[in-house]
Amino acid sequence: MATEKHIRSSWVAFIISMLVFIAYVLLNRLLLGAYVICPFRAITSYPCPGCGLTHAGIALMHLNLKASLKFHALFLPVIFTLFIVFFPRGLIKVLDWAKRQYWWYALLTVAMFGYYGFRMLHYYPGEYPMYRNLSCYLSKVGIMKPLTVKERADEIEKANKRRRR
């Protein structure tokens, strides 16, 4: 069983993690002008394989399965996997067994990148989350050209015309 010292150190680690996360989000707000949570999107301005998972979870909490699947179809397998991975060992034997099923992690990883590729080919650029941010760290240091609102609208319109053909 967990000792009091172990529980206290877990809380300290949690509080430090939350403070680092809040500082990261506020720094993004200050430097990029937006509350960007995803490090991949903050650096490159492009959506990542997990883009839409948070909105999918919120939609599911509102019991809107259709919207949840629209934001990210793999939300439920990802949450199921995270639950298994972070559940304490030894409390439920089936979950201990499930943690050792490494094929599942490989399958989910392949599915995430496959789904990402599908979304980038068929839905990028388009509605949230499949569009570029206006600003990113690569544009701040001069590696990428910053995107204007008009350029993003033109990018989306061009993609919509391509999809209609």
In a domain, 83, yes or no: yes
DSSP 90-146: TS-HHHHHHHT-HHHHHHHHHHHHHHHHHHHHHTSSSSTTSS--S--HHHHTTSSPP
In a domain, 6, yes or no: no
Whether the predicted pLDDT of 89 surpasses 70: no
- How many structural domains is the chain composed of? 1
Residue pLDDT, tens place only, 96-128: 777 788 888 889 999 999 999 998 888 888 777
Whether the predicted pLDDT of 93 surpasses 90: no
- Look at residue 27 in the predicted model and tell me its pLDDT: 87
Query: What percentage of the chain exceeds 90 in pLDDT?
Result: 28
Domain that holds residue 27: 21-164
Supply the pTM of this predicted model: 0.72
- Look at residue 2 in the predicted model and tell me its pLDDT: 55
In a domain, 13, yes or no: no
